[in-house]
């Protein structure tokens, strides 16, 4: 900067300061002048305030109990959601039972539970019983499962079975009790069967898809509503064959071998991709929870169900299932919240 420029700058600086001070003073005067035009303090109606934006979950501490029962297949998801929810709402108790889909609906239809886990849609007879007892509900899809065929770790030959072979094994009246009766190339070894009991939605789904009729099955197998019992039975029996939800295989990969299924398009094993795109056919299926609408009037139940929908995709994947699209969870949320 030249000497002349510095002189001009020193001359103008005080003028700029004076102009700025004047502008501030005028602004203050304008604000003061505007004050008398404000509405009188005393009015005939209460003042209106802007409410804060709602949060996804209540900030107040909740208490009470959310009673859940039903499918052992859906159990890992509901249990995972319950554990995470209690980290933020420790005052809410959330017992999760595993009486099977049918057993869960029996309790739900008479108002004993708030939520029923289900590995199949509710039957007309169950819906009618609920209606007779004044129970209204919301059906919510929460994940996809690939119903999985299992053998023990000692079995290295049954890597894939056709749906026709599965039907020959499990059909009513079947007397197949040796692996070489399933396929002549299989060894001459005793075949022992394990599967869900008749209260299970997995039993209903499997028999419908494999035997062509829901509930149509040979009765001479080791049955349980608890998939963990089936895991132990299959893992401990070198000649075993059984079926249950994919999540229980994921948790027990070190104890079990997965059997691929050929429904006419080649051998396809269940995994997240094949379950989600339906190529693991015909044993890919949706999983549900049913919520008593009366129970939703209790803040702890509504908060839990909303939390379930917000976290089902992530927690389903963590326990071995496949989450749904966000649009489907949004649909469930609208049904719960009346949106």
List the domain boundaries for the chain. 64-144+286-337, 148-282
The residue among 194, 192, 289 whose CA lies nearest residue 248 is 194
Taking CA 30 as the corner, what is the angle to CA 28 and CA 32, rounded to the nearest 5 degrees?
70
Report CA-CA distances (Å) from 221 to 157, 168, 300, 315: 21, 14, 41, 32
What are the Cα distances from residue 326, in Å, to 309, 310, 331, 332?
Answer: 9, 9, 9, 10
Tell me the two tokens of residue 190: 């005793």
Helix (H) or strand (E) holding 88: helix 75-88
pLDDT band at 338 (very low <50, low <70, confident <90, very high): confident
At 330, is the pLDDT very low, low, confident or very high (cuts 50, 70, 90)? very high
pLDDT of residue 48: 29
Look up the CATH number of domain 64-144+286-337: 3.40.190.10
d(CA 191, CA 184): 14
Beta strands in the chain (DSSP E): 64-65, 68-70, 92-93, 115-118, 137-146, 148-152, 160-162, 192-196, 222-224, 240-244, 256-262, 267-268, 284-292
Summarised one tens digit per residue, pLDDT across range 164-181 is 999 999 999 999 999 999
pTM as predicted: 0.79
Band (58; pLDDT cuts 50, 70, 90): low
- pLDDT, tens only, 219-268: 999 999 899 999 999 999 999 999 999 999 999 999 999 999 999 999 99
Mean pLDDT calculated for residue range 201-226: 96
- Distance, CA of 187 to chain centre: 41
Mark 92-103 as b/e (b = at least 16 C-beta within 10 Å). Answer: bebebbbbbbbb
pLDDT in tens, 21-53: 344 344 444 433 333 333 333 333 333 223 333
Q: Provide, rounded to the nearest whole percent, the portion of the chain with pLDDT above 70.
A: 82
**148-282: CATH class:** alpha beta
Domains 64-144+286-337 and 148-282 share a fold: yes
Query: What is the structure's pLDDT at 8?
Result: 36
pLDDT of residue 59: 62
């Amino acid at each position: 900067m030249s000497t002349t420029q510095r002189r001009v700058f020193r001359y103008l600086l005080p003028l700029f300061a004076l102009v700025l001070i004047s502008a501030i003073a005028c602004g203050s005067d304008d604000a003061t002048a505007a004050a008398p035009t404000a509405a009188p303090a005393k009015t005939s109606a209460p003042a209106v305030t802007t409410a804060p934006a709602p949060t996804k979950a209540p900030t107040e501490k909740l208490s009470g109990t959310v009673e859940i029962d039903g499918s052992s297949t859906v159990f890992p998801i509901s249990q995972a959601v319950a554990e995470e929810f209690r980290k933020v709402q420790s005052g809410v108790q959330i017992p999760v039972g595993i009486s099977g889909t049918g057993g869960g609906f029996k309790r739900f239809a008479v108002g004993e539970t708030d939520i029923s886990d289900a590995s199949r849609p509710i039957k007309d007879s169950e819906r009618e019983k609920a209606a007779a007892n004044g129970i209204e509900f919301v059906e919510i899809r929460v994940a996809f499962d690939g119903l999985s065929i299992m053998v023990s770790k000692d079995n290295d030959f049954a890597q894939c079975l056709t749906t026709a072979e599965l039907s020959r094994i499990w059909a009513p009246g079947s007397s197949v009790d040796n692996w070489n009766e399933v396929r002549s190339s299989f060894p001459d070894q005793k075949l022992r069967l394990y599967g869900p009991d008749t209260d299970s939605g997995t039993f209903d789904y499997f028999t419908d898809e494999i035997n062509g009729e829901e509930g149509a099955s040979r009765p001479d197998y080791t049955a349980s509503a608890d998939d963990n019992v089936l895991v132990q039975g299959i893992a401990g029996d070198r000649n075993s064959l059984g079926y249950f939800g994919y999540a229980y295989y994921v948790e027990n990969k070190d104890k079990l071998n997965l059997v691929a299924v050929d429904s006419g398009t080649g051998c396809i094993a269940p995994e997240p991709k094949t379950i989600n795109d339906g190529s693991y056919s015909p044993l890919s299926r949706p999983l549900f929870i049913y919520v008593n609408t009366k129970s939703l009037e209790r803040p702890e139940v509504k908060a839990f169900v909303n939390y379930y929908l917000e976290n089902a995709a992530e927690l389903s994947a963590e326990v071995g299932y496949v989450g749904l699209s966000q649009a489907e969870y949004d649909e469930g949320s609208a049904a719960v919240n009346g949106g």
